[in-house]
Amino acid sequence: MIVVRIVLSAVLALAAVAAHAQSYPAKPIRLVAPFPAGGPTDTTARVAARALQARLGQPVVVENQGGAGGTIGARAVANAAPDGYTLMMIAVANTFGTQPVLYKLDFDPLKAFTPVATVVTDKQMMVANPSLPVKSASELVAYAKANPGKLNYGAAIGIGPHFLMELFKIKSGARIQHVPYRGSGPIIADVIGGQIQLMMSGKSVLLPHVQAGKMRAIAVAAGARWPELPDVGTLVEAGYMDAAYDSIFGIVAPAGTPGSVIATLNAAMNEGLKSDEVRASLAKLGIDPRVSTVAEFAALIAEEAPRWAEIVRVTGIKAGE
């Protein structure tokens, strides 16, 4: 009788999983972007949401929950029900690399989240208000040294651009003051408006402003120059950076989300990334789609997280700065 009950329980459990897989998704999905609207995380989330919605047949709603370097939104998703209806767009460098070192989190991202799919690789660039009389990284360093304390840059605390700007300052000796923000969207507005002079962020959100003449590209955080900006040098060739630091964006779900749901989402995202419409959208932003299996995304996180954690140590940045 006990054996029969065990077998029956197993059969019912498998049936429940199968039924969940067949019915998923049965309602709208939340895709949390843990930064304000207008930044790379938000921009990527909206492209991903449209691609998923078209393939899953349910609305995928982007919800911005900014603050504390992305940890407020991350905590909300970590505590969400693991049913596939709450997801998060993350930058691997932030969520798995810098945040666990920089903040006293009450959750471990490696245990709290399960990888779903990579989405894009977004390269980084440094830009300035056009009124600043510099056109290259070396000119910026010379100007900063000749005008100590006069330059400011904006960045959310503890995210990739914040660390890259601090690395640049360490390498170059330039004195540039950090002004904390909640995300890239407000920083872009203030650089264009002249409230601050500099910022670093993703190609996806800065390139259109550079091409429109609202910002000036100073340098790109890459190993090679970009075809869109062939006259703009790299921080590597200028000697202010040892390697390229790209931002890899992907989707995660709360730990415990059924494997069948993860597989459905991964397949839908990859299918979307291979489609002409999504590739065209990403091409306009100058960023590259990144297709992966769940296992490949997990391996990428394991590779990238220590690299960015080391940057926290090198720069000595604290969460209160």
Same domain, 206 and 137: yes
CA angle, 42 then 45 then 48, to 5°: 155
Say how far apart CA 37 and CA 64 lie, in whole Å.
7
pLDDT digits (tens, 9 = 90+) for 136-180: 999 999 999 999 889 999 998 888 899 999 999 999 999 999 999
Same domain, 253 and 270: yes
Q: Can you tell me the mean pLDDT for 269-286?
A: 94
Same domain, 116 and 264: yes
Same domain, 204 and 269: no
Same domain, 78 and 113: yes
Domain at 180, CATH number: 3.40.190.10
Counting the structural domains of the chain, the total is 2
Whole domain around residue 216: which residue ranges? Answer: 124-220
Same domain, 89 and 131: no
Q: Is residue 7 part of a domain?
A: no
Instruction: Note the pTM of the prediction, 2 decimals.
Output: 0.84
Residues 89, 41 contacting (CB under 8 angstroms): yes
Say how far apart CA 309 and CA 36 lie, in whole Å.
24
Higher pLDDT, 232 or 6: 232
Q: Is residue 6 part of a domain?
A: no
Same domain, 214 and 131: yes
Residue 288: burial class (beta carbons within 10 Å; 0-12, 13-18, 19+):
middle
Same domain, 38 and 113: yes
Same domain, 117 and 32: yes
How much is the CA Rg of the chain, to the nearest whole Å?
A: 21
**Measuring CA to CA, which residue among 143, 131, 140, 21 is closest to residue 84?**
21
Measured over the CA atoms of residue 36, residue 42, residue 46 and residue 49, the dihedral's sign is negative
Quick one: what percent of the chain has pLDDT higher than 70? 93
Q: Can you tell me the mean pLDDT for 303-318?
A: 91
Q: Catalogue the long-range contacts made by 15-18 (C-beta closer than 8 Å, 24 or more residues apart).
A: 17/258, 17/260, 18/260
